[in-house]
Amino acid sequence: MVIPDQIEGRTVSGIGNNAFYNCRSLTNVTIPSGVTTIGDNAFYNCSSLANVTIPSVVTTIGNQAFGYCYKLTNVVIPDSVTTLGTYLFWCCDTLASVTLPDALTTLPNNTFGGCTSLTTIELPNTLTTIGDTAFAGFSSLTNVVIPDSVTTLGTYLFNGCTCLTTVTLPKGRTTIPTGIFNNCTSLTNVVIPAGVTTIEDNAFVSCTALTTVELPNTLTTIKDYAFYNCASLPSIVIPNSITTLGAGAFSCCYAFTTITLPNGLGMISDSCFSECSSLTNLVIPSSVTSIGNSAFASCAALTRITIPDTVTSVSDSAFFCCVGLTSATLPSSLTYLPSEIFGYCFNLRAVYFQGNAPGADWSAFDCDSDIIFYYRPSTTGWEDLSANTGYPARLWNPTIQAGTHGFGPHANGYYFNISGAPDIPIQVEACTNLTQACWEPLLTTTLSNGSLDFTDASSTNFPVRFYRIIGP
């Protein structure tokens, strides 16, 4: 179809709203050179339209102007265009090439949503705003560079871009928007630019190929489910600038083996690390005061946890179904153990208490395991705790002291004696710097007769060494 320059002596200067709406047999359109505007839904659902030429005087193209034009393969938007409508090429699933105008400042909501054949797009350096879901369902897109001129990024921007492997984010941003890379299942590497302070909800949900994430020291907040189901991510260093981790922030990160938590973190939120089933090493910093519901539930590879004495509250099911957990050390600051805090921890054998017996829900240790509670001298309440939970309590009182060979350097190394109640489990550890406190296990055993002579044969390899005894 060739649209004439004039109709009844009047110059055609625009194509009105719904002008060719649902014209399913239309295959080609030549728009006259005098047209400056293309209205809303102008060619909506022209499902056979394969070619369209937009003249270089057009300044505005309306909402959904080419929505559901399934046969459209190539579009050049001239530099004269300054305004594009929302859902402009919605579900144009054979569109393989688009040229955007050089002076464009705004790419509105859902511009290319569902354009499953587009593999790449070049964004102009004049662009300042990209709207919500602008590239959602752009499932053939493999890489994109967002220019530094962009100051506003929409939510769920690349939602479902399942072939996207790399992306360059603009500098100068403070926020990574909600759901921006939701379900980008081929994305492997992300560098969050310096200056970003917040990663919003669901930002990287189900980025199942993601293996590397670099977080800047400006970051203070990671919101709910931001990295949920990033199933291939093996580890992450969370900078000390972080003060808030949202609910489920790293839930279902199945490949996680280690987590470095920030020293300024005050709370570990609900389900924050639940189902991180490969997590073996966990250090909870002394800044933490509370641990939320199911925070570490189903962390099946976790074998040991120590809760610092700053923690005053742990919520239901915090360590539920941690089936590899064998021991836990609980602080004196924790005065109540809630429902199923250690439920279904079938291999839990020892719980070491640093203070008086806490109150406990009857199901706190609902795990059918042969648990023994170990308590310190001069603490109280153990009969009540045992009666409530059904598990026995025993005195745990190992003491380092002089032995048969005295105390200190000896012919075979540094020597001392350990005494305490018979048959209590102990682990001897050493470190060379109390400030860094990187403790190395030297011996794990049982005080079978209530006494043990210990010699550290490697002590001569260090200028100074400190020793401690903990529950294994």
The pLDDT value recorded for residue 258 is 86
The pLDDT value recorded for residue 71 is 95
**364 CB burial (10 A radius; 0-12, 13-18, 19+):** buried
**Which own/partner contact pairs does 364-369 have at CB distance under 8 Å and 24+ positions apart?**
364/337, 364/338, 364/339, 364/340, 364/389, 365/337, 365/341, 365/389, 365/390, 365/391, 366/340, 366/342, 367/342, 367/343, 369/345
The DSSP bridge pattern shows strands 212-214 and 189-191 to be parallel
The pLDDT value recorded for residue 63 is 97
The pLDDT value recorded for residue 378 is 96
Question: Is residue 378 within 8 Å of 355, Cβ to Cβ?
Answer: no
Q: Among all chains, which residue has been given the structure tokens 């209530």?
A: 450
3-state secondary structure of 384: helix
Can you point out the beta strands (E) in 173-332?
175-176, 189-191, 198-199, 212-214, 221-222, 235-237, 244-245, 258-260, 267-268, 281-282, 290-291, 304-306, 313-314, 327-330
* CA pair distance 40, 62, nearest whole angstrom: 4
The pLDDT value recorded for residue 465 is 94
Using left for φ > 0, alpha for ψ between -120 and 50, and beta otherwise, residue 64 falls in: left
Tokens of 332: 């004196």
* CA pair distance 119, 438, nearest whole angstrom: 49
Provide the residue-wise pLDDT of the chain in tens; the chain has 472 residues: 888 888 888 888 999 999 999 999 999 998 999 999 999 999 999 999 999 999 999 999 999 999 999 999 999 999 999 999 999 999 999 999 999 999 999 999 999 999 999 988 999 999 999 999 999 998 999 989 999 999 999 999 999 999 999 888 998 889 999 999 999 999 999 999 999 999 999 999 999 999 999 999 999 999 999 999 999 999 888 999 999 999 999 999 999 998 889 999 999 999 999 999 999 988 899 999 999 999 999 999 999 999 999 999 999 999 999 999 999 999 999 999 999 999 999 999 999 999 999 999 999 998 767 899 999 999 999 999 999 999 999 999 999 999 998 999 988 899 999 999 999 999 999 999 998 778 999 999 999 899 999 999 999 999 999 999 999 8
Which phi and psi (to 5°) does residue 153 adopt? -115, 135
Tokens of 103: 């002076």
Q: 10 Å Cβ neighbour count for 278?
A: 16
* CA pair distance 148, 156, nearest whole angstrom: 19
CA dihedral over 26, 28, 32, 35, signed as positive or negative: positive
**32 CB burial (10 A radius; 0-12, 13-18, 19+):** middle
Pick the closest to residue 245 from 274, 221, 270 (CA basis): 221
Provide the whole-model pTM: 0.90
Count of residues in the chain: 472
Can you point out the beta strands (E) in 54-188?
60-61, 74-76, 83-84, 97-99, 106-107, 129-130, 143-145, 152-153, 166-168, 175-176
Question: Is residue 354 within 8 Å of 377, Cβ to Cβ?
Answer: no
Fill in the DSSP letter of residue 169: P
Tokens of 400: 């380092």
β-sheet with 304-306: strand ranges across: 304-306, 327-330, 350-353, 372-375, 393-395
Which phi and psi (to 5°) does residue 219 adopt? -70, 130
Pick the closest to residue 135 from 124, 121, 147 (CA basis): 121
* CA pair distance 316, 339, nearest whole angstrom: 5
Tokens of 286: 């002394």
Fill in the DSSP letter of residue 303: -
Tokens of 162: 């399942």
The pLDDT value recorded for residue 120 is 87
* CA pair distance 22, 82, nearest whole angstrom: 26
